[in-house]
Amino acid sequence: MIPFARSLSLLAFAFAVSSCSKKTSEQENARVAPVVPTVLKSNQLAGTPSTFLSSQAQSPVHWQQWRPSLLEDAQQSQRLIVALVGSARFPGSTETLQAISNATNLVKRLNNDFIPVLIDGEISRDSMLLSAALSAELNEPIGFPFLVIISPDGAPVTWKVINYRDDQEVTDLFNQALEVIERLWHDDPTYVKKDSLGKLNTRRENPPQPEEEIKDPAERAARLTIAVQKICHLWDESTGTLDSLGGLFPSEALSLLSRASVAPSLPETLRSDCRDAAKGLAGILLKSAMIDPLDGGIYPARVGPSWNFTLSNRDCITQAEAILALVDLHQFTQQDGALSTALDAAAFAENDFLTRDGLFSITRQPKPSSPSRLMWSIGDISMALKDTEFEVWKAASDLRTLGNLPPEADPQRRTFRKNALHRGRSMEEVAAKLGIPVDETTALYASGRQKLLETREKLMPSPPKDDTPSALASFMMIRAYAQLFTATGDASWKEKAAQLGERCRTAFGQARFLNERPGATPDPMSDSRAYTYAMAARASLDLAAITLDDQWNRWAVDLMTLLGENFVNQEGDRLSESREGFAIVPFPFEDRSMIFGPSTAGTLRQNLQSLIKTGQAIPPGLRHWTLALPPIDKLPVIFMDSINALIAEENSSTLLLAESADADTQAAATRLPLRKIERKIDPSASDPIKFIAPGGEERILTSAGQVQALPGE
């Protein structure tokens, strides 16, 4: 890699590299006159399958959508590709693009000397894995937007995380970086190509080792216990966090702790500790500003150490993941407020992300994020509310004239004299504090909530809705609906899940391969990555569990078969995130760990366990992941989804129903907690109801009441 630096250091390094590289002869340096294809002379983002990309269709930058033929265009034009990986979900992405568009000289340089490419990481997950891998080579944390300059051979030349702070810093960084690489390219393009291609070939020849297959059940159980212990011991009651987990909403951790708290294979003391940690963390989160008290939506991350200072932009995937975790909390720890919060998040997701055709988008239209825009002064709130409403909200959110964030939560004091709204006190606590009845307190809180919501919308309007459906967001919402059905028994959630499943199959699965956006034929950008296949299969298995309709099992197996046939190497031990020929950089990046939320490998493991527990065949090419384990006992934080798969392997049971099972029994079976008790209609069954415990012991049940009682055993 040719590294980024700053100012004179950049120029000094460029001079050193140019001087030290082997000089080629004039014949070797001689180049055919460049030919710039017409397509590179204008912005090509209009009509792209991504709202994040199409939002830049009017930019003066000649942004291109990624396509394999861009490498041919780079060869013809003799230009390097300047690729920017971002997402409407990532703070700084929209701001960086605006800064670039407003910098006239930078726009000219990009258009005249390079091929600028904008990549939506939500559609091309392999681009995010590329960013993570390249950042790791520099021992730097991953972040977005991510800038990577690529040679005409498809090899990364140099790269950098863009940590947006202000427009000038972004334009300075781009100009300095492009000036250095432009000089190197002009002086000796052969060296730049040989150096970058050589390093890419080295990566190809030395990929990460396949995950180790652990066949001994005792060893697998021991590793699970160690991993859960380490996660549980991260809980710090004094700070209200799980150490080392960062500031993202900890959905996977909440699910893991909740499921571990009822896992018979784990020691009783560990189960108790997991329950305490799950309820302790949830108790803090549910009272924090991470749960918006006005519209019920959940924020994806905090800013700094306080859960009351949050990012302002929200997305559908965060809502779905949080719903799954909150229902786990409700079902396995009986956490107060978890289910109602999950229901509020579902309502928010439907209001903000449901598209006209009944699918879900990932976000609203891209907009710069501003954490401080969610903060209120005492005057803002008192002007919007009646005195009695204000007193209730003041007590509930601990509102203060100087602001309710502690100084360490905002050292720069951007929120001085500002308050975060949150559910810090229950209505019972507020009523006791103010000396008024609980019913009156609740009514004043509700009327004040509506006024504050209307005021916020006037002062800080939400960006327009995005009507571009996302396969990933839609499949995730199927899972959320299914989870809510098992928690509430309300058939409307099951109906929503089934209807959404049918829409997804039609919109994203018309052709042989899945498409990240609706359409019969995916283009290279929207061809679904492995993670979407794994998540679609998970959603389909959940649908099978709540409907007992075997068509969803069959579709899940079909999707996983495609995954095994098209994303797994010949040796059967590596799972590439993209199909051959569709990757941004020709390298088989694997999604093994929770860098960007649940991983492909972890989700696949959970799917395979569902197939095994219900006696379904493992699709060809995927057997390695039934035995292989990442180092969960050494690095449990980044493998929590795989730990959850192992919890299911060791502790989930199976309910097999004969086709003759009565309607009440079938209805009771559909409402059982997902992945704690797998279920399936067994056409060959002679007994109406067969229950198989985690250890393999079988017993025959005789009534719907016995089925309903299973979760409490």
Average pLDDT over residues 227-234: 98
**With 0-12 CB in 10 A as exposed, 13-18 as middle and 19+ as buried, what is 638?**
middle
Tokens, residue 222: 């021991």
Residue type, 313: N
**With 0-12 CB in 10 A as exposed, 13-18 as middle and 19+ as buried, what is 284?**
middle
Query: Residue 21: which pLDDT band, with cuts at 50, 70 and 90?
Result: very low
Residue 653 CA to residue 693 CA, distance in Å, equals 5
Residue 701 has a pLDDT of: 96
Q: Where in the chain is the domain with CATH 3.40.30.10?
A: 7-205
Query: Residue 30: which pLDDT band, with cuts at 50, 70 and 90?
Result: low
| Superfamily designation of domain 7-205 | Glutaredoxin (3.40.30.10)
Choice between 139 and 548, residue whose per-residue pLDDT is larger: 548
Q: How distant, in Å, are the alpha carbons of 549, 610, 656 from that of 701?
A: 21, 21, 10
Burial 145-172 (b: 16+ CB within 10 A, else e): bbbbbbbbebbbbbbbbbebeeeeebbe
> How high is the mean pLDDT of the chain?
93
DSSP state of 363: S
Residue 2 has a pLDDT of: 62
Query: Residue 372: which pLDDT band, with cuts at 50, 70 and 90?
Result: low
Query: Residue 19: which pLDDT band, with cuts at 50, 70 and 90?
Result: very low
User: Which residues touch 534 (CB under 8 Å, ≥6 apart)?
Assistant: 560, 563, 600, 603, 604, 607
Query: Residue 20: which pLDDT band, with cuts at 50, 70 and 90?
Result: very low
Q: Lowest-pLDDT range, 253-267, 579-593, 633-647?
A: 579-593
**Chain segment 293-348, per-residue pLDDT in tens:** 999 999 999 988 999 999 988 999 999 999 999 999 999 999 999 999 999 999 99
Q: Are the CB atoms for 294 and 250 separated by under 8 Å?
A: no
Residue 414 has a pLDDT of: 79
Residue 1 has a pLDDT of: 64
Residue 382 CA to residue 390 CA, distance in Å, equals 6
DSSP letters, 184-231, are HHHH-HHHHHHHHHHHHHHHHHSPPPPPEE---HHHHHHHHHHHHHHH
Residue 7 has a pLDDT of: 38
Q: Are the CB atoms for 651 and 694 separated by under 8 Å?
A: yes
DSSP state of 40: G
Query: Residue 31: which pLDDT band, with cuts at 50, 70 and 90?
Result: low
Residue 171 CA to residue 110 CA, distance in Å, equals 12
Cis peptide before 250 (omega within 30 of 0): no
Residue 378 CA to residue 598 CA, distance in Å, equals 40
User: Which residues touch 480 (CB under 8 Å, ≥6 apart)?
Assistant: 319, 320, 323, 324, 346, 349
User: Which residues touch 710 (CB under 8 Å, ≥6 apart)?
Assistant: 653, 655, 672, 677, 691
Average pLDDT over residues 403-428: 90
pLDDT at 396 over 80: yes
pLDDT at 688 over 80: yes
pLDDT at 17 over 90: no
Q: Does domain 212-367+466-651 have CATH number 1.50.10.10?
A: yes
Residue 104 CA to residue 111 CA, distance in Å, equals 11
**Chain segment 97-132, per-residue pLDDT in tens:** 999 999 999 999 999 999 999 999 999 999 999 999
For 146, the enclosing helix (H) or strand (E) is strand 146-150
Q: Strand pairing partners for 118?
A: 65, 84
Sheet holding 114-120, edge to edge: 64-65, 114-120, 80-86, 146-150, 156-161
User: Which residues touch 207 (CB under 8 Å, ≥6 apart)?
Assistant: 574, 588
Tokens, residue 523: 């283009």
Task: State what percent of residues in the chain have pLDDT above 90.
Answer: 83
Q: Could you give the 3-state DSSP secondary structure of residue 465? A: coil
**Chain segment 476-513, per-residue pLDDT in tens:** 999 999 999 999 999 999 999 999 999 999 999 988 89
pLDDT at 521 over 90: no
pLDDT at 13 over 60: no
Residue 4 has a pLDDT of: 52
Give the total residue count for the chain. 713
Query: Residue 689: which pLDDT band, with cuts at 50, 70 and 90?
Result: very high
Selection from 347, 309, 677, 666 nearest residue 492 by Cα: 347
Residue 226 CA to residue 230 CA, distance in Å, equals 6
Name the range with the highest mean pLDDT among 139-148, 230-239, 337-346: 337-346
Average pLDDT over residues 406-417: 85
Q: Where in the chain is the domain with CATH 1.50.10.10?
A: 212-367+466-651
Tokens, residue 40: 């590179």
Residue 368 has a pLDDT of: 78
Query: Judging by DSSP bridges, how do beta strands 653-657 and 677-681 pair with one another?
Result: parallel
